[in-house]
Structure 1
Amino acid sequence: MNKQDFNFLKKLVETPSPSGYEQPAQRVIRAELESVADDMQTDVMGNLISHLAGKGGPKLMLAGHCDEIGFMVQYVDDNGFIYFGAIGGVDPHLTPGQRVKIHTADGEVSGVIGKKAIHLIEPKDRDTVIKLKEQYIDIGCGSKEEVLKLVAIGDPVTFAVGVEKLQRDLVTSRAFDDKMGAFIVTEVMKKVKQKGGGTAELYSVSTVQEEIGLRGATTSSYGVNPDAGIVVEVTHATDYPGVEKMGIGDVEVGKGPVIARGPNINPVLFQLLMETAEKEKIPVQVVGAPRGLGNDANVMQLSRGGVATALVAIPLRYMHTPVEVLSLGDLDSAIKLLTALSLRLEKGQSFIPV
């Protein structure tokens, strides 16, 4: 991945966008595609829909959600401690002792999620998980009035970490799920434009509110009404200690994007992806998905009269933590695969399985 693309990825991932508060991330993507897309619109849900005109081919929608898990300010006690609720699937095991940023109308406010010192915890209670509703944020204020001059009820909160490089081509950050998906579909549109465009009508959609119920994909799939749609998501890597492979499959970071196969996936589109990967010599992995998926592909497939849907996923370690880990090479391979597929589609392409 070149420096310019990495800087875009880093900026997007580090821009706060908990579900329902995605506008800052959408502005980053809009700026990236303003000179690329033939037209762009933001719908009432907040989905950013960018269109690159084709030459009479099928409508292809590429979707990656730009929302991340986080927290929301709900209550401030008289001593200035802030109680919060989870936005999306937050693990209460890992939140105590974390640094956070509260995103207010006037900018970021730093805080910490308090954690009683181990010396003060009874031995019998040391393995007990503190319920999320009992955890609190300390921003250093001494009263409710002092806090409410800085923070408002309903302000979103994120972990205070960003992108860092590890060894080889691995990187770590919060919120790779799934801002790296929004990054990939944005990069694909740029690459297709650079290659002169394709026959297919290409839609790059940065969806919202996936983490709280696949909500943005439901409305944007209905609005775009594509012939085919590919969701770009993360999937669980199974190449680190303690993860059972039998129920997921053999998925390794750095071995290429993962293509799902199963009832949620259109068999024609699956085959096109596999043939494209082989032709372009792109390494891919395959997982079996025996039921409806828990991501935007689920609702996309069922939109209107049905959409030919596929899932291209990036192997991710430590999902929904502040230390998610993935391979930049897997992102590059996914971009190459989806660019080639977008340019391959021709007029009259049928996705009806026979």
Structure 2
Amino acid sequence: MLTDAESQFLKDLLHAPSPSGFERPVQNVVREYARSFGAEVRTDWHGNVIVVVNPGGSPRIMLAGHCDQIGLLVKHVDDRGFLWVHAIGGWDPQVLIGQAVQVWTRQGPISGVIARKPIHLLSPEERKVVPEIKNLWVDIAVRDGEEARSLVEIGDPITVQLGFRPLRNNLVCGPAMDNKVGVWTVITAARRVAEGNPQAAVYAVSTVQEEIGLRGVQTSAFQIDPQLGIVVDVTHATDCPTVEESQFGRVKVGQGPVLYRGPNVNPVVLERLQQQAGASGIPTQLNGLAVPASNDAAQLQLSRGGVATGLVCIPNRYMHSPVEVVSLDDLDHAATLIAKFCLSVTPVCDFTP
């Protein structure tokens, strides 16, 4: 069960914009919350926010959750005032049609919509065409291009309408669960570590620019030089139609965080995570990963001389859409498991495979 402060932290994260390269608003939320429980907080020039608990401890453990979300970027303003955009990160253009959006300008957010020609006016051929990002425009309800250019600059980021909605069975849905729930998990784990008696130094990092190339984890890991690392991201839930368990594993929302096994994961880290889960009655799910992860774990493992890396993921239905679905119970269990792992690590622990 989340505390009131933890619930408010999650709400604040989900209402703050953070397209890759424009993460400052969500990072401000992270800094404020981390300072509330007395952690050491610093921000590097790349934009990573590093939250440190017990900095003099040993070994150094890095917890990484990327804060950036997919979005759009204003590329052109035409003479009628419509905005033409490029994608930041990987979108399925079909989920953008009919969405309310916000353009994040220097003066503040401007509301807009993405739509297309009404179905009544589409020819039979047009109805069969799958739209591309280059065919979509944003309508901000201006009179002409001059008015639009007085409000919007080239390069302004755009997100779908932010926020979330509660669903049944302690589930929630909204955009940017990927990966603000990962940020929430690592920072909350750090807070729970701070309430204990850690021997290890814990560096919980809200990393930037994962969605455009796993960039922030590279620079932050180089600075911290951790011996151990745990990455928290979302993973595809397979408990919905059309997603094959035989290809992607059996992953259910609300059944606990997913622990990954494979070449991207140090087996001793995985074993300790499983031991802590079993000893504390924390539900987990196991999945396999035969290649480097498509998230921060791929780069964290390779930092400097190599980092003993674990991968803990939150099941997510409908990833990279405006209606991503996750379980608050899975978040709570993930944060508790990671905190217990960190508290169990001592200077004499050996994570040699």
Describe the SS at the equivalent of 1:72. Answer: strand
5 Å-filtered alignment, 1:321-340, equals: 321-340=321-340
How high is the TM-score relative to the length of structure 1? 0.97
* Distance in 2 (alpha carbons) for counterparts of 1:191 and 1:38: 11
**1:232-270 Cα distance to aligned partner (Å, 9 max, x none):** 000000000111111110000000000000000001101
* Distance in 1 (alpha carbons) for counterparts of 2:277 and 2:21: 35
Between 1:24-33 and 1:55-64, the stretch displaced more is 55-64
Within the alignment, does 1:116 sit opposite 2:117 as a pair?
yes
Instruction: Using the TM superposition, give the Cα deviation of residue 339 of structure 1 relative to its aligned residue in structure 2, in angstroms.
Output: 0.9
* Distance in 2 (alpha carbons) for counterparts of 1:207 and 1:37: 20
Contact 2:81 2:148 (C-alpha < 8 Å) held by counterparts: yes
* Distance in 1 (alpha carbons) for counterparts of 2:297 and 2:153: 35
Q: Which residue of 2 aligns with 1:33?
A: 34
Q: Which residue of 2 aligns with 1:275?
A: 275
Instruction: Using the TM superposition, give the Cα deviation of residue 55 of structure 1 relative to its aligned residue in structure 2, in angstroms.
Output: 6.0
Contact 1:80 1:138 (C-alpha < 8 Å) held by counterparts: yes
Within the alignment, does 1:75 sit opposite 2:82 as a pair?
no
* Distance in 2 (alpha carbons) for counterparts of 1:105 and 1:172: 28
* Distance in 2 (alpha carbons) for counterparts of 1:51 and 1:125: 54
Describe the SS at the equivalent of 1:211. Answer: coil
Contact 2:16 2:162 (C-alpha < 8 Å) held by counterparts: no
Q: Which residue of 1 aligns with 2:221?
A: 221
Contact 2:229 2:307 (C-alpha < 8 Å) held by counterparts: yes
Q: Which residue of 2 aligns with 1:23?
A: 24
* Distance in 2 (alpha carbons) for counterparts of 1:127 and 1:6: 44
- Identity, in percent, stands at 47
Q: Which amino acid aligns with 1:91?
A: D
Q: Which residue of 1 aligns with 2:15?
A: 14
Within the alignment, does 1:203 sit opposite 2:206 as a pair?
no
Q: Which residue of 1 aligns with 2:172?
A: 171
Change in 2 beyond 3 A, CA 1:54/1:218: closer
Q: Which residue of 2 aligns with 1:212?
A: 212
Contact 2:103 2:156 (C-alpha < 8 Å) held by counterparts: yes
* Distance in 2 (alpha carbons) for counterparts of 1:129 and 1:43: 41
Between 1:322-331 and 1:122-131, the stretch displaced more is 122-131
Instruction: Using the TM superposition, give the Cα deviation of residue 333 of structure 1 relative to its aligned residue in structure 2, in angstroms.
Output: 0.4
Q: Which residue of 2 aligns with 1:42?
A: 43
* Gapped regions of structure 1 (runs ≥ 5): none
* Distance in 2 (alpha carbons) for counterparts of 1:212 and 1:177: 13
Describe the SS at the equivalent of 1:246. Answer: helix
Instruction: Using the TM superposition, give the Cα deviation of residue 93 of structure 1 relative to its aligned residue in structure 2, in angstroms.
Output: 1.3
Q: Which residue of 1 aligns with 2:288?
A: 288
Instruction: Using the TM superposition, give the Cα deviation of residue 54 of structure 1 relative to its aligned residue in structure 2, in angstroms.
Output: 5.5
How high is the TM-score relative to the length of structure 2? 0.98
Q: Which residue of 2 aligns with 1:258?
A: 258
Q: Which amino acid aligns with 2:344?
A: R
Within the alignment, does 1:347 sit opposite 2:335 as a pair?
no
Instruction: Using the TM superposition, give the Cα deviation of residue 122 of structure 1 relative to its aligned residue in structure 2, in angstroms.
Output: 0.7
Q: Which amino acid aligns with 2:136?
A: Q
Instruction: Using the TM superposition, give the Cα deviation of residue 58 of structure 1 relative to its aligned residue in structure 2, in angstroms.
Output: 0.8
Between 1:70-79 and 1:122-131, the stretch displaced more is 122-131
Q: Which amino acid aligns with 1:315?
A: P
- RMSD, matched Cα: 1.1
* Gapped regions of structure 2 (runs ≥ 5): none
* Distance in 1 (alpha carbons) for counterparts of 2:39 and 2:17: 27
* Distance in 2 (alpha carbons) for counterparts of 1:272 and 1:32: 29
Instruction: Using the TM superposition, give the Cα deviation of residue 127 of structure 1 relative to its aligned residue in structure 2, in angstroms.
Output: 2.6
Change in 2 beyond 3 A, CA 1:322/1:38: closer
Within the alignment, does 1:105 sit opposite 2:106 as a pair?
yes
Instruction: Using the TM superposition, give the Cα deviation of residue 38 of structure 1 relative to its aligned residue in structure 2, in angstroms.
Output: 4.4
Contact 2:14 2:162 (C-alpha < 8 Å) held by counterparts: no
Instruction: Using the TM superposition, give the Cα deviation of residue 42 of structure 1 relative to its aligned residue in structure 2, in angstroms.
Output: 0.8
* Distance in 1 (alpha carbons) for counterparts of 2:292 and 2:179: 19
Contact 2:17 2:162 (C-alpha < 8 Å) held by counterparts: no
Q: Which residue of 2 aligns with 1:63?
A: 64
* Distance in 2 (alpha carbons) for counterparts of 1:60 and 1:27: 23
Describe the SS at the equivalent of 1:24. Answer: helix
Q: Which amino acid aligns with 1:169?
A: N
Instruction: Using the TM superposition, give the Cα deviation of residue 2 of structure 1 relative to its aligned residue in structure 2, in angstroms.
Output: 3.1
Describe the SS at the equivalent of 1:309. Answer: strand
Contact 2:43 2:50 (C-alpha < 8 Å) held by counterparts: yes
Q: Number of residue pairs matched? A: 352
* Distance in 1 (alpha carbons) for counterparts of 2:169 and 2:274: 27
Q: Which amino acid aligns with 1:321?
A: S
Describe the SS at the equivalent of 1:49. Answer: strand
* Distance in 2 (alpha carbons) for counterparts of 1:142 and 1:54: 56
**1:184-237 Cα distance to aligned partner (Å, 9 max, x none):** 111111111122x30000101000000000000011111111000000000000
Between 1:136-145 and 1:20-29, the stretch displaced more is 136-145
Q: Which amino acid aligns with 1:160?
A: Q
Within the alignment, does 1:319 sit opposite 2:323 as a pair?
no
* Distance in 2 (alpha carbons) for counterparts of 1:192 and 1:227: 18
5 Å-filtered alignment, 1:123-202, equals: 123-195=124-196, 197-202=197-202
Q: Which amino acid aligns with 1:185?
A: V
Instruction: Using the TM superposition, give the Cα deviation of residue 130 of structure 1 relative to its aligned residue in structure 2, in angstroms.
Output: 1.6
Contact 1:54 1:198 (C-alpha < 8 Å) held by counterparts: no
Instruction: Using the TM superposition, give the Cα deviation of residue 37 of structure 1 relative to its aligned residue in structure 2, in angstroms.
Output: 4.6
Describe the SS at the equivalent of 1:273. Answer: helix
